[in-house]
Structures are given as structure tokens and as C-alpha cells.
């Protein structure tokens, strides 16, 4: 792949539900190794953007691209290149974390040895004594770690996360943020929709604020302090920006 091509691109993306424009001329580029946090109030269009990359929605006009190719023209791209962690990671409750990981990898034609599966779970932060326990007994944070292990095993080029830290206690949210950062540092591109400004500041390289389907502001996360970020966010939410 040409290194100059971003992993995830939205080009003049418009997504409409009947008459309602949920995403309005969105332009985004997320290169390898970048964590992009998409902020915005309820109904801003964040989840619709993520769903469009996953081909759950079709663009009304414009396009999304994965490494320069449209997943709407080649559906295989989503399976081969993306990992998706929704707010509640869908796993089989009757199986252990280890069994879920190997099962989902088998579906993706990836064979893991027992040692590789344990190593992936450990690397994703799931403590060893939980690997063989049924997922029914897992906390939300533990389920997410299995989701991260699946994403790592797939060697996904990009990970899409919707509200990943909602409902996690501060310590679990911090731990999760560090795992996301580590995945990006290994080269993954990450698009994360979140209401968690603290987490966004902590983990992201770029931050975009959406309102009424439009990207109203975008900046380098390292150039703003947490309180500035909160002020920017509130100014857009209150219509003052």
C-alpha cells in the first residue's frame, strides 16, 4: 500500500435517513497509527459515520474508503481490514474468553495455537485467571479486552469504536485507553466516537467535533489542554462557536 494513502477516508460524505441528513458533507482522513476521536452531542452523526465504514449504511453521496478502496464496492474489505468494537462487545456468554477469541478467529480463517490465544488475551489486558471463565461472568471492560484481542489477531488495519469507555470506571477506562494507544502505536488506525472528553484527550492524536452531521471543528489533540477542549465542546453544543 502507498504509505500516503490514509487507512480511513470520508470524502464529501452525506448519509441520509429518508429526509433526515445524519452526516452532512463529512471529510475525514485517518492515517496509520492515528487515533481520531469523534466528539459531538447526541444525534451529531458519529455512529452513522462509523456504520457507513462498516457498510451498515450506504452513502447518499460522497464515499468512504478503506486504504483507498470503497467497502461499498468490495464488501470483503470490511471483514479483512476492519475491527469493530461497539459499546457492548457481542460475545458468546456460554463460552470462555479464550473460546470466543479462537471461535471468532476461525470465522476469519485465522488459526491460533493455544499459546498464541493466551498471549493475545494477556496482551489485551485480560488477566490469565479469566481466560477460561465463561464470558457471562465478565465485566464490560473484560469483554472489551476480548474484542481488542480479536482485533489484534485479525491484524486489522483500522479499529472502529463506538462509546468504548461508556460505563467503565475511571481505572478501567484508563486501562482501555492505554490499550487503544498501544494498538495505534503498533500501526492501527483508530476511529473512536465518544462522549468522554477526558479519554479523548488522553488517547487521541486528532479530535473532531460533529454537530448536526457536520464536522464543525478539527484539531491536533496535543495542542489543547483538557479545559480548552471542554470549552470548545460546550461552545459548539451551546451554539456559541
Residue placing its CB nearer to ligand ATP in the complex, 39 or 146 = 39
Residue 206 φ then ψ, to 5° = -125, 145
Plot region of 115 (φ>0 → left; ψ -120 to 50 → alpha; else → beta): alpha
Cα first-last separation, the chain: 39
Least gap, CB of 208 to ligand ATP (angstroms): 12
Name the 3-class secondary structure at 163.
coil
Residue placing its CB nearer to ligand ATP in the complex, 7 or 44 = 44
User: Rule CB under 6 A: which of 11-50 touch ligand ATP?
Assistant: 17, 20, 22, 40, 42-48
User: Rule CB under 6 A: which of 155-194 touch ligand ATP?
Assistant: 193
Least gap, CB of 187 to ligand ATP (angstroms): 27
Least gap, CB of 24 to ligand ATP (angstroms): 10
Cα separation of 158 and 176, whole Å?
17
Residue placing its CB nearer to ligand ATP in the complex, 42 or 113 = 42
Q: 73-105 b/e with 16+ CB inside 10 Å = b? A: eeeebbebbbbbbbeebebeeeebbbbbbbebb
User: Rule CB under 6 A: which of 83-112 touch ligand ATP?
Assistant: none
Residue placing its CB nearer to ligand ATP in the complex, 17 or 92 = 17
Least gap, CB of 57 to ligand ATP (angstroms): 8
Counts of helices then strands in the chain (DSSP H, E): 8, 9
Establish if 52 lies at the interface with ligand ATP (CB under 6 A). Answer: no
User: Rule CB under 6 A: which of 187-216 touch ligand ATP?
Assistant: 193
Least gap, CB of 22 to ligand ATP (angstroms): 3
- Cβ proximity of 207 and 35 under 8 Å: no
Cα separation of 212 and 46, whole Å?
10
Binding site for ligand ATP (CB under 6 A): 17, 20, 22, 40, 42-48, 193
Amino acid at each position: 500500500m502507498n504509505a500516503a494513502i490514509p487507512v480511513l477516508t470520508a470524502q464529501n460524505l452525506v448519509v441520509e435517513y429518508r429526509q433526515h441528513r445524519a452526516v452532512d458533507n463529512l471529510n475525514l482522513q485517518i492515517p496509520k497509527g492515528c487515533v481520531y476521536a469523534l466528539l459531538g452531542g447526541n444525534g451529531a452523526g458519529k455512529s452513522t459515520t462509523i456504520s457507513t465504514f462498516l457498510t451498515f449504511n450506504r452513502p447518499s453521496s460522497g464515499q468512504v474508503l478503506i486504504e483507498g478502496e470503497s467497502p461499498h464496492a468490495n464488501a470483503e474489505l470490511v471483514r479483512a481490514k476492519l475491527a469493530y468494537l461497539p459499546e457492548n462487545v457481542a460475545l458468546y456468554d456460554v463460552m470462555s474468553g479464550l473460546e470466543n477469541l479462537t471461535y471468532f478467529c476461525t470465522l476469519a480463517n485465522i488459526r491460533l495455537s493455544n499459546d498464541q490465544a493466551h498471549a493475545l488475551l494477556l496482551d489485551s489486558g485480560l488477566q490469565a485467571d479469566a481466560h477460561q471463565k465463561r464470558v457471562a461472568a465478565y465485566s464490560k471492560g473484560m469483554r472489551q479486552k476480548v474484542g481488542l484481542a480479536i482485533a489484534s489477531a485479525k491484524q486489522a488495519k483500522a479499529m472502529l469504536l463506538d462509546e468504548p469507555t461508556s460505563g467503565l470506571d475511571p481505572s478501567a477506562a484508563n486501562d482501555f485507553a492505554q490499550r487503544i494507544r498501544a494498538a495505534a502505536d503498533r500501526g492501527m488506525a483508530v476511529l473512536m466516537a465518544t462522549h468522554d472528553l477526558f479519554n479523548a484527550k488522553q488517547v487521541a492524536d486528532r479530535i473532531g467535533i460533529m454537530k448536526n452531521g457536520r464536522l464543525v471543528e478539527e484539531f491536533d489533540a496535543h495542542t489543547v489542554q483538557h479545559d480548552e477542549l471542554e470549552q470548545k465542546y460546550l461552545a459548539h453544543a451551546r451554539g456559541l462557536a
